[in-house]
Amino acid sequence: MDRIKLQKCYGRLKGLEDIVSTEKIIIIDIINDYDLVVDEVQKNIKEDLESYKAKKYRKLGDGDNTFSYYLKDKLLQLISFLEYGYKLSEELIEIGSIYNSIRDEELKSRCADILTASSNFDRVVNQASQVLEDRIRTKSGLDRSFVGIKLISKALNADRSKSVLIVSENNEEHEGFCHICRGIMLAFRNPTHHYLSDSFKREDALKFTAFIDSLLKILNKCKVVSSA
């Protein structure tokens, strides 16, 4: 099943719902469009959805119009079927909310197209952690020889007296942020840079990207002591 295609079909159905909910009379082409969407969904999820089609309608006069209720009943049934059977509305709202919360433009531009893919979301984790790594290097003024844990140990040392970047005057807050970045390098950056993984879902990738976005916001406010 291609979930991206299913989401697009769901979006089209919601658009049709807006039309039929406000109009008593619709053009017959709208019903034909709906039946085509049913065909697409049926092919995607491999379930028999013929009973959801709105095949029975009659023209009004000599025009190509008909009553919207010929479509409305079947349309609402199919929307409910997809929402409860495939959790589409709940998932779309969650995904949209998380994605819209991301503010860092570079992070968004490097991850957006991958997030719309149908699989291989370890690539999002790869790119998001790489943006964090590059931002730490740029902020601290260190050269490209500093990567991964070597970069964190120098730029964000838990010991404030040895750190190029100072997150907070509070030692515990500074130490906590440094450990978080170190953990991300070890648990996420290194594995996705050296190995392929199918363990990440789209939701996981989005949440990880949103967390990196929060770290970048804090990093932007860090005080630079010295890169020597």
3-class DSSP assignment, residue 67: strand
Condensed to tens digits (0 to 9), the pLDDT of residues 207-225 reads: 999 999 999 999 999 999 9
Residue 43 domain flag = yes
Q: What is the pLDDT of residue 3?
A: 82
H or E element in which residue 54 lies: none
Among all chains, which residue has been given the structure tokens 């907070």?
168
Average pLDDT of the residues in 156-185: 96
**Mean pLDDT across the chain:** 89
Condensed to tens digits (0 to 9), the pLDDT of residues 70-125 reads: 888 889 999 989 888 887 766 665 666 677 788 999 999 899 888 877 789 999 99
Residue 92 domain flag = no
Q: What is the pLDDT of residue 52?
A: 92
Residue 96 domain flag = no
Please state the domain count of the chain.
Answer: 2
Beta strand 65-67 pairing with 223-224? unpaired
Q: What is the pLDDT of residue 228?
A: 47
**Are 124 and 172 contained in the same domain?**
yes
195 burial type by CB count under 10 A (0-12 exposed, 13-18 middle, 19+ buried): exposed
**Are 173 and 215 contained in the same domain?**
yes
Say which residues have a Cβ less than 8 Å from residue 99's Cβ, sequence separation at least 6.
115, 206
What pTM did the predictor assign? 0.62
DSSP one-letter code for 24: S
**Are 112 and 208 contained in the same domain?**
yes
